[in-house]
Structure 1
Amino acid sequence: MNKFAFYVSVCIGFFLVSCGDDSSSVTIPSGEVSLSTLLDSRDGQTYKTVAIGTQTWMAQNLNFETANSYCYDDDPFNCIKYGRYYTWAAAMDSVGMWTANGKDCGYGKTCSPTLPVRGVCPEGWHLPTFGEWNVLFSAVGGQPTAGKMLKSTSGWNCSDNGRHVRISGNGTDDYSFSALPVGLDIVGCYAYFWSSDEGGSGHAYDVDLCYGNDYAEQGLSYKFYRIPVRCVKD
């Protein structure tokens, strides 16, 4: 089974069997969000931001160039469009360039990072824990529909190398989070975002949104995978 087929099967399979009670969540009305911008003083790039409930998130994928960060298809234009992809070590700033909180966190190692982990994020922002992702999901109505609420309104048109075009999975982007369908070596099918939570020496936790359903789910990826970053404000 190739990588594309694997992720399609996981995504659709999860959709078919998942259920849960999310009645404890407190939903923030979509009109009660505040839009702003963030200037990254390191390279002068400006990002859209959005305040949802008690949190403020980047509303675009990070595009700060560092070692072990990449553009999709090695095309610099894709970094402008989609942001950069990072290994988990790069996302955590394992070399300690900005802070020591995520130092020495990388593939083949286990670490005990000091939270919050700024990682590769701009000053005053940090790489979210999975708990912080869950706070966001609750604020937009809970995991069963968070994917739909957070996904961008275009671009979610999944195909297998152009051979089998599947139904559009565009979101409603009710909260201006604008999650783009990018991550790993696939565009159009999934949005992946790193968290600062480790899953052992070889893996770390990420967040997955899928074209095929409205769910937001927790994933576990190899630390050497290339995955986008969204930062949350300290």
Structure 2
Amino acid sequence: MTLKKFLTIGFVAAVLVACGDDSSSATDSDEVSSSSACEDCDGSSSSKAKSSSCSAKSSSSSSVPEWYVDPSTVVKGTMTDERDGQTYKTVKIGTQTWMAENLNYASYTDVPYEHYPHTSDSISWCYDNDPANCAKYGRLYTWAAAMDSVGTWTANGKGCGFRNECSPTYPVRGVCPEGWHLPATAEFETLFTAVGEVFTTGKMLKSTSGWNWNEHDDLNGNGTDDYSFAVLPAGGRNFDGLFGDEGYDASFWSSTEDDSEYVYIMYMYHYSNDVYLGHDGKYNGISVRCVMD
């Protein structure tokens, strides 16, 4: 059983489309991807996936939308986290500058994790507790750790954690380096819009290696990494302390809370070329990508 089967996820729509009167149901696990959007996506809590009531309408292929960012215009760079000296690749896509690697700051390693019946001496981890995986994928953080819920660096996300609804002050630096912050869902949507490909946004943001074979379509699960965003399938850690889905999926925290137990995330699957926005439990451990202030 893969990690995603442990996660309780509901879905919201991303961008690039409009709602229509026709009703349609998402396939498989009722996912709603970047290729459909709906005004009725209110982010209400649910332990089941939501179906979309919108019909996808892609932009005309005969013209280039003004919000589309040509991959040849992206600007690659680096930044150094002064807290530990680690250097990260960065990429400027349109108006946004993102880290092009997952955060690997060893934060909250001495803060106890408790989610009955499992306990841990940390609320951030390397996949399979192997330091080599931190070097490869970055660390996996609970939402409380990602938001800096104890206020180590700023008070913007203080008090945000499992079973505790909060009112963060945006932007939320969270665990990110100074001058960077944990993205809100709207910032993920801006990224999707810039990439502009309705059904291949995920593929264009994925790394060109590391993803497992797509057994659904008998195709390679790797991406094309057109924008040097280089998403790797880091997997995650569930509330029982089990790691899973390395090679199969990637998930990233947002700073946008749904309710006391769930938060909006961005994620990708090895068998899909789409990118998704959905819910995840605050107690799980997943990746962090920071965006520049």
Q: State the 1:151 CA deviation.
A: 0.2
Q: State the 1:168 CA deviation.
A: 2.3
| Kept in 2: contact 1:127–1:230 (CA 8 A) | yes
Distance in 2 separating the partners of 1:25 and 1:77: 42
Q: State the 1:26 CA deviation.
A: 2.0
Larger CA Rg, structure 1 vs 2:
2
Range 183-192 or range 94-103, more displaced: 183-192
What does residue 47 of structure 1 align with? 88
Distance in 1 separating the partners of 2:290 and 2:168: 17
What does residue 270 of structure 2 align with? 211
Structure 1: segments with no counterpart, 5+ residues: none
Q: State the 1:167 CA deviation.
A: 4.0
What does residue 194 of structure 1 align with? 253
**CA deviation profile, 1:33-55 (whole Å, cap 9, x unmatched):** 00000100000000000000000
Give 1:80-229 correspondences, 5 Å limit: 80-157=135-212, 167-184=219-236, 185-229=244-288
What does residue 21 of structure 1 align with? 57
| Kept in 2: contact 1:143–1:216 (CA 8 A) | no
1:42/1:126 CA distance change after superposition, 3 Å: same
Q: State the 1:212 CA deviation.
A: 1.0
What does residue 129 of structure 2 align with? 74
**Identity across the alignment (%):** 53
Q: State the 1:13 CA deviation.
A: 3.8
Range 136-145 or range 176-185, more displaced: 136-145
More strand by share: 1
1:133/1:5 CA distance change after superposition, 3 Å: closer
Matched, 1:64 2:119: no
What does residue 289 of structure 2 align with? 230
The alignment partner of 2:199 has SS state of: helix
Give the AA of the match of 1:181. Answer: P
More helix by share: 1
| Kept in 2: contact 1:157–1:167 (CA 8 A) | no
Distance in 2 separating the partners of 1:214 and 1:57: 21
| Kept in 2: contact 1:143–1:217 (CA 8 A) | no
TM-score by length of 2: 0.72
Distance in 1 separating the partners of 2:210 and 2:164: 36
Aligned length: 228
**CA deviation profile, 1:178-207 (whole Å, cap 9, x unmatched):** 000113122111111100010100111100
Structure 2: segments with no counterpart, 5+ residues: 10-26, 37-55, 60-64, 109-122, 237-243
Give 1:1-16 correspondences, 5 Å limit: 2-4=1-3, 6=5, 12-14=28-30
Give the AA of the match of 1:134. Answer: E
Distance in 1 separating the partners of 2:124 and 2:173: 16
Q: CA RMSD in A?
A: 2.5
Q: State the 1:6 CA deviation.
A: 3.2
Distance in 1 separating the partners of 2:157 and 2:204: 31
| Kept in 1: contact 2:2–2:245 (CA 8 A) | no
